């Protein structure tokens, strides 16, 4: 946790005060009461570092929310409680990392979690009425469909650049936050989550396959992100092989997680067939040893979005697909006011010197303030 800044009012010497110990015990009991809902609805999990005394450390797993580029991903966080909790917040480090990809504007590649209540961003500060569970819910809430809108200056962006970032993060989620985390977790403190990860993997497996096929137009290409200076290389065959291997391994040791429990609710193949990946069919066994359900993939006739050529670092020479170049007029230059929204109260209005439109300050649950169109 040395690389992650703590709350400015916090002391992090691993010597909890009696008040801190009492409050942590209370928080843990409240989490235990909500255990069923946390597992089945919220999909947030905790591992307490057990010693002879209450430890200042705990470990957290958040499953990426549905209908976002983080869907079904396994996001690990390490927390250190301050000596004077609850009068200061915990330190928090994001430990689901890989390929030098900035997965979210608020979660950096060095693990820093940039949120106002953690004392790492401007906005509403930490309050003693907050707790371990409320912070976990807030941290999950910023895993949104169009994540780049959490970045200052991009608050109202909804164009090809924001959609491209979303697609890159979505593929990265399958490759790193799902496949890599299932195979090798950051530290042994997260191994305790493996049984629940196996259950969630089987639950989301059909979704993983559907999402993977949406990248067919980018297969074997390396695409540059419009922000943060990273690139993503797409290799669908390799990733599909890893996902299938994980799936088979789970069912071989936990047959009670048979995918038939998922497939019973699917009347049709996940995607109608035209040409499956690798020219093969993916077979999911049902309860009966003589029955099977075949899921095949359809080669997309059109890309989901058009990728400007400037983002393609290594275009495939054997691919006869022409990628359409779309002018990106609405992202040329800054649109929102130059003044920082963090300096103003929620609802404050200002006319932008960049485009003459009126913007107002919006305060988000994460504590971040952003300019949005009035």
Domain ranges of the chain: 18-148, 332-373
Stated pTM of the model: 0.73
Q: Is 48 helix (H, G, I), strand (E, B) or coil?
A: strand
| Predicted confidence pLDDT, tens digits, the chain (374 residues) | 555 667 777 889 999 999 999 999 999 999 999 999 999 999 999 999 876 679 999 999 999 999 999 999 999 999 999 999 999 999 999 999 999 999 999 999 999 998 888 876 666 788 999 999 999 999 999 999 999 998 888 888 888 999 999 999 999 999 999 999 999 999 999 999 999 999 999 999 999 999 999 999 999 999 999 999 999 999 999 999 999 999 999 999 999 998 654 443 333 344 333 333 343 343 333 343 434 444 444 444 444 555 666 677 655 444 433 333 333 433 345 677 878 787 677 787 777 777 667 778 888 766 777 878 77
- Determine the Cα–Cα distance for residues 95 and 15; give it in Å rounded to an integer: 24
The angle, 0 to 180 degrees and rounded to 10, between the axes of the packed helices 194-213 and 236-253 is 150
Task: Give residue 274's pLDDT.
Answer: 36
- Determine the Cα–Cα distance for residues 140 and 143; give it in Å rounded to an integer: 6
Query: Residue 49: which of 57, 41, 61 has the closest Cα?
Result: 57
Is there a contact between 253 and 241 (Cβ–Cβ < 8 Å)?
Answer: no
- Determine the Cα–Cα distance for residues 340 and 365; give it in Å rounded to an integer: 18
27-33 contacts, C-beta under 8 A, 24 or more apart: 27/131, 27/132, 27/133, 28/132, 30/131, 30/133, 31/132, 31/133
Q: CA 87 → CA 113, 129, 298, 312, 325, distances in Å?
A: 19, 9, 55, 49, 53
Task: Give residue 275's pLDDT.
Answer: 38
Dump pLDDT digits (tens) for 248-304.
999 999 999 986 544 433 333 443 333 333 433 433 333 434 344 444 444 444 445
Sheet with 369-373, strands from edge to edge, namely: 349-351, 358-363, 369-373
Beta bridge partners of 371: 361
> Which residues lie below 8 Å from residue 268, measured CB to CB, with a gap of 6+?
none
Length of the chain, in residues: 374
- Please state the separation of Cα 178 from the chain's center in Å: 10
Q: CA 360 → CA 116, 156, 273, 354, distances in Å?
A: 20, 11, 48, 15
For residue 136, what are its two tokens? 């976990």
Task: Give residue 52's pLDDT.
Answer: 64
Number of helical H runs and strand E runs in the chain? 8, 11
- Fold adopted by 18-148: Ubiquitin Conjugating Enzyme (3.10.110)
Dump pLDDT digits (tens) for 194-251.
999 999 999 999 999 999 999 999 999 999 999 999 999 999 999 999 999 999 999 9
- Determine the Cα–Cα distance for residues 285 and 251; give it in Å rounded to an integer: 10
- Determine the Cα–Cα distance for residues 94 and 4; give it in Å rounded to an integer: 10
**129 is an active site residue:** no
Beta bridge partners of 168: none
- Point out the catalytic residue in the list 94, 113, 114, 129: 114
Q: Which residues of 292-329 are buried (b: 16+ CB within 10 A; e: fewer)?
A: ebebbbeeeeebeeebbeebbeeeeeeeeeebeeeeee
- Determine the Cα–Cα distance for residues 364 and 130; give it in Å rounded to an integer: 16
Task: Give residue 306's pLDDT.
Answer: 58
Task: Give residue 94's pLDDT.
Answer: 96
Q: In the block, which residue shows the tokens 């060095």?
A: 110
């Amino acid at each position: 946790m040395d690389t992650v800044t703590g709350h400015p009012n916090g002391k992090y010497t691993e010597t909890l005060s009696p008040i801190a110990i009492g409050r942590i015990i209370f928080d843990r009991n409240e989490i235990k009461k909500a255990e069923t809902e946390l597992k089945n609805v919220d999909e947030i999990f905790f591992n307490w570092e057990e010693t002879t005394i209450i430890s200042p450390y705990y470990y957290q797993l958040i499953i990426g929310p549905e209908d976002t580029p983080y869907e079904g991903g396994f996001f690990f966080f390490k927390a250190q409680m301050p000596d004077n909790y609850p009068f200061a917040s915990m330190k928090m480090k994001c430990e689901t990392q890989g390929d030098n990809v900035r997965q979210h504007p608020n979660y950096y590649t060095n693990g820093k979690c940039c949120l106002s209540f953690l004392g790492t961003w401007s906005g509403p500060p930490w309050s003693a009425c907050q707790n371990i569970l409320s912070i976990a819910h807030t941290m999950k809430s910023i895993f949104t469909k169009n994540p780049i809108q959490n970045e200052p200056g991009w608050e109202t962006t909804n164009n090809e650049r924001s959609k491209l970032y979303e697609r890159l993060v979505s593929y990265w989620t399958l490759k790193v936050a799902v496949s890599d985390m299932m195979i090798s977790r950051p530290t042994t403190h997260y191994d305790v989550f493996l049984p629940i990860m196996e259950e969630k993997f089987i639950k989301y497996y059909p979704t993983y396959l559907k999402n993977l096929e949406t990248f067919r137009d980018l297969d074997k290409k390396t695409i540059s992100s419009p922000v943060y200076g990273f690139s993503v290389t797409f290799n669908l065959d390799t990733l599909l092989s890893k996902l299938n291997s994980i799936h088979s391994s789970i069912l071989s040791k936990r047959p009670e997680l048979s995918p038939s429990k998922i497939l019973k609710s699917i009347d049709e193949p996940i995607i109608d067939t035209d040409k499956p990946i690798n020219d093969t069919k993916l077979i999911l066994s049902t309860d009966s040893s003589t029955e099977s359900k075949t899921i095949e993939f359809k080669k997309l006739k059109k890309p989901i979005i058009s990728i400007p050529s400037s983002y393609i670092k290594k275009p495939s020479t054997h691919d006869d697909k022409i990628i359409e170049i779309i002018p990106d007029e609405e992202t040329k230059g800054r649109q929102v006011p130059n003044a920082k929204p963090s300096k103003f109260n929620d609802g404050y209005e200002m006319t932008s010197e960049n485009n003459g439109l009126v913007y107002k300050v919006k305060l988000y649950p994460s504590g971040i303030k952003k300019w949005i169109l009035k």
